A and B are shown apart, each in its own frame.
Chain A
Amino acid sequence: MWRSFVDAFVYGSLGLPPESGLGSALDFFIYDTVKIFFLLVVVIFAVSTLRSFFPPEKTKKLLEKLPEFVGNMLAATLGIVTPFCSCSAVPLFIGFIEAGVPLGVTFSFLVSSPMVNEVALVLLWGLFGWKIALLYVASGLVVAIASGFAIGRMRLERWVEDYVWAIRGGAIPVERLGWKDRFLYALGYVGEILGKVWPYVLVGIAIGGFMHGYAPAGLLAKYAGPGAWYAVPLAVLIGVPLYSNAAGVIPIVRVLMEKGMALGTALSFMMAVTALSLPEAIILRKVLKPKLLAAYFGVVALGIMLTGFLFNAIV
């Protein structure tokens, strides 16, 4: 319905021919922008209401009792709904460790929390369809579980800054929230996230629309198609510095795929953008010694690349 309305406006009212570059780029831009912003408001509101039921204080209590592998799975899953912003990464990390949550389980949470989030989900679902959105969530969870488990097995506790082990924070009581508190929280969250991501979404969709209208089809097939083995590691390398721009990157990736980029390469790229970030690394340096920081980035990057190679090989 929305599709035909936008088509009628661009091709009818404005009189631009559908086969023209400008017509198809503009149609693409209007259609996507409105759809994405609508989805963002609805989904962020719903997810934040849901996440007000899972504060990290509760998550921590659930995780401290579980054996390692089960703990990794639950930590990764809770990472989806638990609130996370990189400014909270250090107190979160200390809180988990101090409660006795194993190091590897803590990492599963730290990996999944920024990677599998509702903004990425909305953009993937709105622009790629639910199949790729689910594929992203599932592979994100697997990467978070596996890399956390691997870090746990490597016994790297000695590479956590020593003062962390000495902290005894004690638990604060979980607040009792009414529905009004939850909705206020969710509304605040919608405003905060939209305020942060809207320029990236607009620019991303605009660049995507431009490329959709003007770049020749199959442009990338040679360099980023399934045959180009180096595309996956290259995508991860490029993805790391693009942190926090997931909202702007995903609309562009859609067009890159349309022009011939392989699915596995695209998934690797998006995961590297969301999961590995330099600012977060700098913040986490306060609690992790450089070797552990390097191990964390290395293991996660490896997991993301394996996912990319796997999907390129089977699709």
Chain B
Amino acid sequence: MKVQVLGKGCAKCKTLEEHVREAIAELGIEAEFEKVSDVETIARMGVMTTPALAVDGIVKSSGRVLTKDQVVDYLKKG
């Protein structure tokens, strides 16, 4: 599973990144984590507001700092 956090390094993006790492640790899953900070790539993925979360290349949420539990839900659904 590949998990990406999209955002240009603002405070909100860092918070989401932390929540994602916690969620991966909690589920104990094998996940490749990637931070996407290039705006062109972000735009290509169809995201208009950051931070955003993508799982296996599919954008799941954008413009919100998800809580750890919300991230866990998204990762479980795959």
In chain A, what residue has the closest Cβ to B42? A91
What is the size, in residues, of chain B's interface with A at 8 Å between Cβ atoms? Answer: 25
A68 CB-CB contact with B under 8 Å: no
Residues of B within 8 A of A88 (CB): 48-50, 63
Q: How far is the CA of A88 from the CA of B45 in the complex (A)?
A: 14
Most chain A beta-carbon contacts within 10 A, residue among B12, B48, B63: B48
In chain A, what residue has the closest Cβ to B59? A172
In chain B, what residue has the closest Cβ to A86? B10
Q: How far is the CB of A131 from chain B (nearest CB, A)?
A: 33
Q: Is B62 a contact partner of A94 (Cβ separation < 8 A)? A: no
Which of B40, B59, B65 makes the CB contact (< 8 A) with A188?
A: B65
Q: Is A188 a contact partner of B64 (Cβ separation < 8 A)? A: yes
Which of B12, B62, B65, B70 makes the CB contact (< 8 A) with A172?
A: B62
A207 CB-CB contact with B under 8 Å: no
Q: How far is the CB of A315 from chain B (nearest CB, A)?
A: 38
In chain B, what residue has the closest Cβ to A173? B59
Q: How far is the CA of A167 from the CA of B61 in the complex (A)?
A: 21
A216 CB-CB contact with B under 8 Å: no
Residues of A within 8 A of B63 (CB): 55-56, 83, 88
Q: A87-B10, A163-B40 are in contact. Are A92 and B45 (CB under 8 A)?
A: no
Residues of B within 8 A of A90 (CB): 39, 43
Q: How far is the CA of A34 from the CA of B62 in the complex (A)?
A: 34
Residues of B within 8 A of A171 (CB): 46
Q: Map CB proximity to A onto B27-52 as digits: 1 under 8 Å, 0 otherwise.
A: 00000000000011011111111100
A15 CB-CB contact with B under 8 Å: no
Q: How far is the CA of A57 from the CA of B48 in the complex (A)?
A: 7
A19 CB-CB contact with B under 8 Å: no
Q: How far is the CA of A55 from the CA of B65 in the complex (A)?
A: 14
Q: Map CB proximity to B onto A83-106 as digits: 1 under 8 Å, 0 otherwise.
A: 101011011101110100000000
Q: How far is the CB of B45 from chain A (nearest CB, A)?
A: 7
Q: How far is the CA of A37 from the CA of B59 in the complex (A)?
A: 36
Q: A181-B70, A188-B64 are in contact. Are A56 and B46 (CB under 8 A)?
A: no
Residues 185-206 (chain A) with a chain B CB within 8 angstroms: 185, 188, 192
Q: Is B44 a contact partner of A192 (Cβ separation < 8 A)? A: no
Q: Is A169 a contact partner of B10 (Cβ separation < 8 A)? A: no
Q: How far is the CA of A167 from the CA of B42 in the complex (A)?
A: 11
Q: Is A85 a contact partner of B45 (Cβ separation < 8 A)? A: no
Q: Is A172 a contact partner of B47 (Cβ separation < 8 A)? A: yes
Q: Is A169 a contact partner of B8 (Cβ separation < 8 A)? A: no
Q: How far is the CA of A56 from the CA of B48 in the complex (A)?
A: 7
Q: A55-B62, A88-B50 are in contact. Are A169 and B44 (CB under 8 A)?
A: yes
Q: Is B40 a contact partner of A172 (Cβ separation < 8 A)? A: no
Q: How far is the CA of A261 from the CA of B71 in the complex (A)?
A: 51
Q: How far is the CA of A57 from the CA of B60 in the complex (A)?
A: 13
Residues of A within 8 A of B62 (CB): 55, 57, 172, 175
Question: Could you write out 10 A-B pairs with CB less than 8 Å apart?
Answer: A55-B49, A57-B48, A60-B48, A83-B49, A87-B50, A91-B47, A91-B49, A91-B50, A163-B40, A192-B65
A-B residue pairs, 8 tightest by C-beta: A94-B43, A95-B48, A172-B46, A56-B48, A169-B46, A172-B59, A90-B39, A87-B10
Beyond A55-B62, A83-B63, 10 additional pairs, beta carbon < 8 A? A56-B48, A88-B63, A90-B43, A91-B47, A95-B48, A96-B48, A163-B40, A167-B43, A172-B47, A192-B65
Give B residues with C-beta under 8 Å from A: 7-8, 10-12, 39-40, 42-50, 59-65, 67, 70
